[in-house]
Amino acid sequence: MGVSGGGPYVAACTYKIPTRVIKAGIVVGLAPVNVKGNLEGMALQGRLGWANYHRFPVLRTLGTLGAAIQFKYFPALGQLITFPTKQDRLAFNEAVKNKAGEESGVKEAFRQGIKGPSEELRVYTDEWGFKLKDIKAKVYLWYGAKDKCAPLNMGKYYKSQIQNSKLFIDKDGGHLARYNFEEKILKALTN
């Protein structure tokens, strides 16, 4: 199972080791950003970044530096920019209150600097080296209809490309909709 930026890694593993991965979950996962329509529904800042990280590599460094500064020195601003929907801000605050790891996960991403997160932006925006249509395993997809980070179009794209996939949509969920799906996710992946 991969969440958000973990989606492409799940797709790659599911494609590359089909005899070992019999089912997988992509939860509000990033889909190929170079496919027309996949960025629609995303917040403007995200759309501009994802559309240009590959063309202008310096933007990857500037983007990750900006995010690191925001979350270290201006966490409230970072939360507003990263989670632009009301649903996500409420879910983030609830997750932090319940110690679900959202806040520490963001801090951990930048603990060793910005080189790793910047490199991930390159990996996400390069050609993935395989076609999603070649994935044979059962892939469950969970998305929030109001997600401005990995919009529902990305889930629909995965669904259109992966023959053996099933899409679940939280009609009121944002990027943190996974908290609404936790039991369903675990049941689907363990049964």
DSSP letters, 28-56, are S----TTSTTTTTTS-HHHHHHHHHTTT-
CATH number of the domain to which 112 belongs: 3.40.50.1820
**Residue-level pLDDT at 80:** 64
Q: Which residue has the higher pLDDT, 74 or 30?
A: 30
Q: What is the mean pLDDT of the chain?
A: 88
What are the tens digits of pLDDT across the range 140-171? 999 999 999 999 999 999 999 999 999 999 99
Nearest to 2 by CA among 120, 118, 111: 120
Average pLDDT over residues 4-20: 96
Average pLDDT over residues 171-184: 85
- Tally of domains in the chain: 1
**Residue-level pLDDT at 103:** 52
d(CA 4, CA 88): 13
What are the tens digits of pLDDT across the range 31-63? 999 999 999 999 998 999 999 999 999 999 999
Contact 173, 150 (CB under 8 A): no
**Residue-level pLDDT at 77:** 64
**Residue-level pLDDT at 86:** 72
Average pLDDT over residues 75-84: 66
Pure H helices in the chain: 7-16, 44-52, 58-73, 75-82, 86-97, 102-109, 115-125, 152-161, 178-190
d(CA 11, CA 1): 10
For 2, the enclosing helix (H) or strand (E) is strand 2-3
| Cβ density class 73-86: b for 16+ within 10 Å, e for less | eeeeebbebbbbbe
For 139, the enclosing helix (H) or strand (E) is strand 138-144
Per DSSP, 188 falls in state H
**Residue-level pLDDT at 98:** 58
pLDDT band for 108, please (50, 70, 90 cuts).
Answer: confident
Parent domain of 59: 2-190
d(CA 92, CA 100): 9
Main-chain dihedrals φ then ψ at residue 177, nearest 5 degrees: -60, -20
